[in-house]
């Protein structure tokens, strides 16, 4: 990563953190059992870290991802509302794909699934649907589209079917607009909580095509920013943490008195 890009990423990080500080307030000021057990200072720290962690995707990962991708892609956007129409044929095809996967009659094969949807992308009426916003929307210089759904490090297994449907519906919506579009839809996991062991992907096997639909940690950040971006990004986070330490400590001292 070039030094200018590192500086840009660090400025995005600082802006995101400062915005979080300025808008943060504990959900509740009175937790007598927690306070007596843990102490006010530990409770304040726990409350802040929990709040930061729940919004890390939108407030940190997404703006950093866009800043990182801007120099490698023709267009990089976040929180994009997708085209809101899906054909009846594509809707039926999506249900057929999901039924086959959930009953273990078929294995996930994203390339095949995309072509199945492409064949029916304008078959029947186009129906307006409410689709999940795209966390990261990319277009390559060659016109290839990548729609990314950013998840936590340990996604909820019970929601996997919904995640898969979202990816397939994004495909159908883009193809309804342009049947010849080169389209990719992906689940992104920002870091590997099992490091140094490999990411535990087996929970996703059977629902997702792991090679075509899932990017984890280094795979994700190097895809966005080029080879070596992941390690450079970790260094950016560390430098910003050191630079803002006094601001963080000052803000945290305010929480102690709540």
pLDDT one-digit tens code per residue, 134-162? 999 999 999 999 999 999 888 888 889 99
Q: Which residues contact 171 (CB under 8 A, 6 or more apart)?
A: 113, 114, 117, 183, 185
Distance of CA 132 to the CA centre of its chain: 12
In which residue ranges of the chain is CATH 3.40.1560 found? 74-225
Residue 48 token pair: 């802040």
Tokens representing residue 159 in the block:
């929601």
Residue 104 has φ and ψ, to the nearest 5°, of: 65, 20
Taking residues 119-140, what's their average pLDDT? 95
Element (H, E) at 88: helix 88-102
Global pTM reads: 0.88
- Beta strand pairing call for 183-189 and 145-150: parallel
Of 3-12, 46-55, 177-186, where does mean pLDDT reach its minimum?
46-55
CATH class of segment(s) 74-225: alpha beta
Contact 133, 119 (CB under 8 A): no
Which residues are 78's β-sheet partners? 136
CA 33 to each of CA 36, 74, 258: distance values in angstroms, whole numbers, following the listed order = 5, 53, 15
pLDDT band for 46, please (50, 70, 90 cuts): confident
- Mean local confidence (pLDDT), 52-65: 84
């Amino acid at each position: 990563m070039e030094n200018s890009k590192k500086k840009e990423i660090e400025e995005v990080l600082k802006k995101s953190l400062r915005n979080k500080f300025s808008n943060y307030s504990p959900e509740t000021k009175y937790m007598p059992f927690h306070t007596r057990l843990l102490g006010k200072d530990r409770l304040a720290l726990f409350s802040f870290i929990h709040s930061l962690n729940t919004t890390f995707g939108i407030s940190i990962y997404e703006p950093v991802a866009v800043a990182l991708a801007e120099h490698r892609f023709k267009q990089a956007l976040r929180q994009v509302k997708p085209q809101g129409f899906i054909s009846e044929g594509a809707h039926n095809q999506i249900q057929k794909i999901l039924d086959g996967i959930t009953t273990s009659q078929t294995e996930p094969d994203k390339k095949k699934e995309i072509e199945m949807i492409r064949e029916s992308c304008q078959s029947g009426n186009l129906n307006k649907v409410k689709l999940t916003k795209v966390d990261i929307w990319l277009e390559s210089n060659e016109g290839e589209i990548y729609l990314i759904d950013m998840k936590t490090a340990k996604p909820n297994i019970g929601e996997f079917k919904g995640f898969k449907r979202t990816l397939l519906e994004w495909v159908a919506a883009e193809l309804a607009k342009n049947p010849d579009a080169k389209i990719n839809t992906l689940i992104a996991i920002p870091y590997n909580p099992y490091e140094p062991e490999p990411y535990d992907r087996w929970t996703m096997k059977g629902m997702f095509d792991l090679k075509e639909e899932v990017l984890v940690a280094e795979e994700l950040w190097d895809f966005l920013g080029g080879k070596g971006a992941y390690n450079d990004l970790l260094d950016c986070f560390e430098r910003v943490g050191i630079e803002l330490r006094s601001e963080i400590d000052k803000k945290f001292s305010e929480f102690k008195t709540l």
